[in-house]
Each structure stands twice: as structure tokens, then as C-alpha cells.
A and B are shown apart, each in its own frame.
Chain A
Amino acid sequence: MSQKEDFSELQKLLRLKRLETPGQEYFNRFVDAFHTYQRREILQEEPWYAKVVEVLFEPWVAGVPRLATVAASAACLVAGVAFFLGPIQSGTAQLADGKVSHPRGIVVAAAQTNASLELQPELIETAAGGEEIQDRPLYVNGHNALAYDSRLTF
């Protein structure tokens, strides 16, 4: 060990901190103080949601939210919005001609064959009753590729 790495004097100094105690009297009274604390805690027990609120909002109140808190809050918000607006795809049904009906009255062409998951250009029926080709579906629903004409108003 080199001279620079001799920490024995430092360690002696640190041991001085062992003397920083509140005194024996404090420890003699601690158990009684703890019993008082426990009784008070039981009487003031908060409902379960108080902890949730504290965990979610304490960092905001403190002014510096953690990334995890922001992410959790965003996820809760999205889940809440999704819950109240209802599932987007509920009520869709496969029609006999291969098209898919949507609860908002839009009929969508299913473009994916059973043999392959490869996406193909979509045949869309517009609100006016015409048809047109759309190259890229806006999203994919598991095994059936669904494409919506973005010009249609919902």
C-alpha cells in the first residue's frame, strides 16, 4: 500500500463519530416513545389510496418529478382515457365478403391472406361509397391488417 493510500489516520478520525450519540437517557426512553408512536400511527392510519396519491404527487409538489413518475402518470392518463372512451376496435366483425364492419359505420377491406402475414395495398371504401387503393395501413390488428381512410371523419 503506498503512502498516499494509508488511511489509518483518517480512520482514527472517523472513529470519533462513534461518540456522536444522543446519550443513554434517549435510549432508555426510546422503547416507551416507540409505543406512543405506534399507538398514534394506528389511530392516524391513512386509507390505502393516500399512499398512492403521495407516491404519484409528492415528486410533483417537490418540483422535480422522476422519469419513472412521469412515465407512470402518463400510463395512468392513457389508461384512464382509453377506459372512458371505450375500446377502439370493439364491435368490429368479419363480413362474409372478407370486409370488416366497424361500429362507426366504416367498412374496411381486410387485405391479409391466411397464408402470409405480408401486408398488401388496401382497398378502402370511402364514406361517399367509392373505392380507392391505400398503400400503407395505419395500423395492424394482430392477424388481420386493417386500414382506415384517414380522410374520413369520425
Chain B
Amino acid sequence: MSAETVLPPDLESGPTDEELVASTVKGDLGAYDELIRRFQGRLYGVIYHLTSNHEDTNDLLMEVFDKAYRSLPTFRGQSSFYTWIYRIAINRSFNFLDKRKRRQGAMSLNELDEDGLPKLDLPDVSPQNDPNKSLMLNELQNKLNESMLKLSKEHRTVVTLFDIQGLAHAEIAKIMGCTEGTVRSRLHYAHKQLQKSLGIYLKK
């Protein structure tokens, strides 16, 4: 049960996240732009897989980077910037989901805005050339999103971070502020739930 591991951004080439944070605090706005470029894809993924809506994800992503920028002077470096900004993204998304739930009740799956879903970006498959395949992929995408939305936000988060983003249990535990045991147990429960609802799409 292993997921593809994604290297933390500070192991990539160029200045580390912490160096960029220090430069930003000193007033180098270009350094913050670089941090945005490093994290925009991953944070978009986290927020999107929690909300299942592109417009909401876009708004929340702006808020997250804005909130992080304003809070940078208070960032003490007790955790890595990577963990810290992930935590902001997840907290903001949770607040948003709570508000949405209070406004709409539990989000009806029939109300899932299919126009709000990003189109599948499939480099190797060309759905335009095969309408049946395109149809099936869309159906699968909707079914996957429906099943994810049935999970609690905590379970959805561990699935997103582990299965989709490929983070390690320890990293997820740091981000979510819980133990690795809790992460494993949430993951196991979520997998069982998803297996139940997606069973017909899985090979026996």
C-alpha cells in the first residue's frame, strides 16, 4: 500500500523555501511569487479534492496565499513552510466546507456542478478521438467525486494527501496535527468506504 512519493519542494533546485520566506519578509516580493509557483499546483489539488469545485478552489487558493503572505512575519519556522501552508489551506477549506454545509445542508450530489470540475488533463489518452472513452472517463470522474464527497472532510483529506498527492503518513500527520496512527486508521476507513461505493469500477 504505497503511494508515489512526492519530494518536498525544498529538495528541488534553487533556494530553499525557508530562504524564500526570509527574502519575502525582507521585502523581496519576487521571492513570494516563487513560493506561489512552487505550491500552487499542490495546494490547488488539496483544495479542489476537498471542495470538488473549480471556482471555489480558485477563490480559496487566493485566500490561502494572501493569508500566508500576511502571516509570514509571524511564521517562526517551528514547522517547515511546506507543512505550514498546507495547514492553512486545509483549515481554510474546512471552514469553507462547514459554511457550505450550514448554508446548503449536506451538499446534494445532484447539485454537484459538473461545469465547475476541471476537465481531465490526459496527456496520453485523447478523449476527442474516442467519444465512448470520453464518456466513460467523465462518468468515472463524477463517480469518484461523488464517492469522495460522501467521506467526512478528515477522511477526504487523508485520501487526498496520501493517494492523490503521494505524501507520507508522517508528513500528513504533521500537516493535520494528529498521530501517524490516526492517519493510518482514517486512511483504512476511507479506503473501505470508497471500495464499497466504487466496487463496480474495480477489477476483482
Shortest Cβ gap from A35 to chain B (Å): 8
Q: How far is the CA of A62 from the CA of B101 in the complex (A)?
A: 9
Q: Assess the A16–B36 pair: CB atoms within 8 A.
A: no
Closest-by-CB residue of A relative to B4 is A15
A53 within 8 A of B: no
Interface of A: prevailing SS: helix
The B77-94 residues at the A interface (CB cut-off 8 A) are none
Are A62 and B99 in contact, with the CB atoms below 8 A?
A: yes
A30 to B144 CA separation, bound complex (whole angstroms) = 27
* Chain A residue contacts of B58, Cβ below 8 A: 22
A120 within 8 A of B: no
Nearest B residue to A10, CB-CB: B195
Residue contact B164 to A18, C-beta cutoff 8 Å: yes
**Contacts A38-B66, A62-B103 given; does A23 touch B121 at CB 8 Å:** yes
User: CB < 8 Å: which of B36, B40, B118, B194 contacts A14?
Assistant: B194
Residue B155 at the A interface, CB < 8 A? no
Closest CB-CB distance, A88 to chain B, in whole Å?
A: 38
A85 within 8 A of B: no
A16 touches B103 (CB 8 A): no
CA distance A20 to B122 in the complex (A): 9
Question: In the bound complex, do residue A19 and residue B120 qualify as a contact, i.e. CB atoms below 8 Å apart?
Answer: yes
List, in ascending order, chain B residues with CB within 8 A of A5's CB: 188
Total contacting residues, chain A, CB less than 8 A = 31
Roughly how many angstroms separate A9 CA and B44 CA in the complex, as a whole number? 25
- A14, A59, A62: most-surrounded residue (chain B CB, <10 A): A14
Interface size on B, residues (CB 8 A): 43
A27/B41 in contact, CB under 8 A:
yes
A21 CB, nearest partner CB in chain B, Å: 5
Instruction: Tell me, yes or no, whether A8 is within 8 Å of chain B by CB.
Output: yes
> Interface digits, B29-72 against A, CB 8 Å rule (1 contact, 0 not)?
00001001100110011001100001000100110011001000
User: Which of B1, B62, B188, B198 has a CB less than 8 Å from the CB of A8?
Assistant: B1
Is B159 part of the contact surface with A, judged by Cβ < 8 Å? Answer: yes
**A63 with B102: in contact, given A9-B202, A10-B202 (CB under 8 Å)?**
yes
A21-B118, A27-B44, A38-B66 given; name 7 further pairs at CB < 8 Å.
A8-B1, A10-B202, A14-B194, A19-B120, A20-B141, A21-B121, A34-B66
The interface of chain B, by Cβ under 8 A from chain A, is 1, 3-4, 33, 36-37, 40-41, 44-45, 48-49, 54, 58, 61-62, 65-66, 69, 99, 102-103, 117-122, 140-141, 144, 148, 159, 163-164, 188, 191, 194-195, 198, 201-203
